[in-house]
Amino acid sequence: MRMIIAIVLWVALAVCSCGITVQQKEAIDTFGEATAAVGAFCEEELAFIKQDVTEMNLYFAALDTAYTSRGIDTLGAFANEKNTAARIAAGNALRAYGEMLSELATGDQEEEIHDAADTFIRNASAALGAELAEERHKAAASLLRTLAAKLEEWKRTEAIESIVPRARTVVDRLAEMLAVDFSLETGEWRSRGYLFSYRDTAYRLRNKAQRVTDYGGAYPLPHRYIAVQAYHQAASAIARAALVEERCTPALEELLRANGELVHVIEDKDYSIADIKEYHRLVRELVGTIETLRAGE
Amino acid sequence: MDNNLDEAIRILEELKTTQTPPNEHIFEQLDKLYEMRLEIVELHIEIATAEYESVTAALEDVITEGKEALEDTGKIASTLRKIDKAVGLFKKLIDSIK
């Protein structure tokens, strides 16, 4: 009986992994793991930024007696619910896509693959909105149908071969969108994103706080106390923005390159996976830096 | 306008550090420039308009005057006045697209 079970397991394993080499499996899993990590990073960082913008604007309004409640409501408009939700959805979509690929390459939980695929499509649609409007329904439904059919037959290799090239454009677009949001480069207005405005919010608060801290004894002590706290928060945000950009920009650029490479890796068993490994290294660096930063908060 | 606003902010930040005790008016005007930059990122502005051109030109004046103010503090007041003009034109630009 044991022998029969062992043979059945061996056959099942062989069927699952047929058509895919160890190197291809490694590439898909490595790409999946890195993409899940970079997606999760973006989600968490955007949520942090939104919260930090709110806190900085509270200090800002406290330091400026000219601000009425109406004025306070207008502060931090770039980080409103709608803007932030779309960007967090982009991070969430990348995370789900990475998890789906890793699970397809090395996992054995069909339900988890379905859940990740569903999350990927739902969040990619929310993030890209109108951009995907026309093709969204057809492409998403087709992708899910393909995945379901392949998984029913437990043909994971075919599922990967079918999904990766078709999802490439969407993944590229999500990465491009997040790359803009995590860039501090000056250029046209349309190429400035979330992190740029976050840093400007911090610059503005720093300016407001310095007006008090650098003015000797001209302001009462309670006012000065708020200004010192505000200055500290603004300075931390400015430093954080620089660090996030320094690590996140190369990781997202490498994601774009590796996403293209993954298609080649799947088509050609002997294709080099150097870019994918480099992508994984950069994401590890990004996650390591941010974990250190968050641990110190 | 993109680069002009960035440059105007850079000059004002530099100008701010040259004043002891701090010049409150520089802080005020610098805040207006940051506010402009935060607003403009959120707007879909048509750059080929007369309103846009006039803001760009006004910021150019701020830069020219601001650079001179870095050498000659007697020019600070006129630099700050030019910022008011640029901010006023920017408000008109915003009104024209709302």
User: pLDDT tens, position by position, for chain A (297 residues)?
Assistant: 444 444 333 333 333 444 678 888 888 999 999 999 999 999 999 999 999 999 999 999 999 888 877 777 778 888 888 889 999 999 999 999 999 999 988 887 888 888 888 899 889 888 887 565 556 556 666 776 777 777 766 677 888 888 888 888 889 999 999 999 999 987 776 668 899 999 999 999 999 999 888 887 777 888 889 999 999 999 999 999 999 999 899 999 989 989 988 988 888 877 788 888 888 888 888 888 777 777 766
Q: Is A157:A17 a contact under the CB 8 Å cutoff?
A: yes
Per-residue model confidence (pLDDT) at position A190: 63
Distance from CA of B18 to the nearest CA of A (A): 13
For residue A6, tell me if it sits in a domain. Answer: no
Q: Which of A78, A186, A210 sits opposite B42 (nearest CB)?
A: A78
Task: Let me know if residue A254 belongs to a domain.
Answer: yes
Contact A211 B42 (CB under 8 A): no
Query: Any CB–CB contact under 8 A between B35 and chain A?
Result: yes
Structure-token pair, residue A217: 């004894």
How many domains are there within chain A?
1
ipTM here: 0.91
Taking CB atoms and an 8 Å limit, are B27 and A210 in contact across chains?
yes
Kindly state whether residue A197 falls inside one of the protein's structural domains. Answer: yes
CA dihedral A109, A115, A118, A121 (to 10 degrees): -80
Q: What is the pLDDT of residues B11-53, one digit of tens each?
A: 999 999 998 888 999 999 999 999 999 988 877 777 778 888 9
Best probe of the A interface among B37, B45, B97, by most A CBs < 10 A, is B37
In a domain, A15, yes or no: no
Question: What is the pLDDT, as a whole number, of residue B1?
Answer: 66
Q: What is the pLDDT of residue A35?
A: 94
Q: Please check whether residue B30 touches A, CB under 8 A.
A: yes
Q: Which of A186, A189, A207 sits opposite B30 (nearest CB)?
A: A207
Among B7, B91, B41, residue whose Cα is nearest residue A76? B41
Q: How many domains does chain B have?
A: 1
- Residues of chain A with Cβ-Cβ distance to B39 below 8 Å are 77
Residue A19 Ramachandran class (φ > 0 left, ψ -120 to 50 alpha, else beta): left
The C-alpha of A148 sits at a distance from chain B's nearest C-alpha, in angstroms, of: 41
* Nearest neighbour of B34 by CB, restricted to A77, A186, A203: A203
Nearest to B41 among A197, A210, A211 (CB): A197
* DSSP structure string for A124-141: HHHHHGGGGHHHHHHHHH
Q: Distance (Å) from the C-alpha of residue A61 to the closest C-alpha of chain B?
A: 13
Do the beta carbons of residue A101 and residue A35 sit within 8 Å? yes
Between chains, do A78 and B40 touch, taking CB under 8 Å as contact?
no
- B41–A192: do the CB atoms touch at under 8 Å? yes
Q: Which residues of A touch B34 (CB under 8 A)?
A: 200, 203-204, 207
- Contacts across the A-B interface (CB distance below 8 Å): 49
Interchain pair A204, B6: CB under 8 A: no
Q: Do B21 and A215 touch (CB under 8 A)?
A: yes
In this structure, is residue A118 part of a structural domain? yes
Provide the residue range defining the domain that includes A49: 20-295
What predicted TM-score, i.e. pTM, was given to this entire model? 0.86
Interface contact B21-A189, CB threshold 8 A: no
Q: Report the gap between the CA of B94 and the closest CA in chain A (Å).
A: 15
Q: Give me the pLDDT at residue B81, please.
A: 96
The answer to whether residues A147 and A114 touch, using CB atoms and an 8 Å cutoff, is yes
User: Which residues from chain A sit within 8 angstroms of residue B22, using beta carbons?
Assistant: 210-211, 214-215
Domain assignment present for residue A13? The answer is no
Q: Do B22 and A215 touch (CB under 8 A)?
A: yes
Is A14 within a domain?
Answer: no
| Interface subset of B 53-82, CB within 8 angstroms of A | none
What pLDDT sits at residue A43?
94
What is the nearest CA distance from B82 to chain A, expressed in angstroms?
20
Torsion sign (Cα): A125, A126, A128, A131: positive
Residue in chain A closest to B10 (alpha carbons) equals: A203
Provide the residue range defining the domain that includes B33.
Answer: 2-97
Res A219: pLDDT: 78
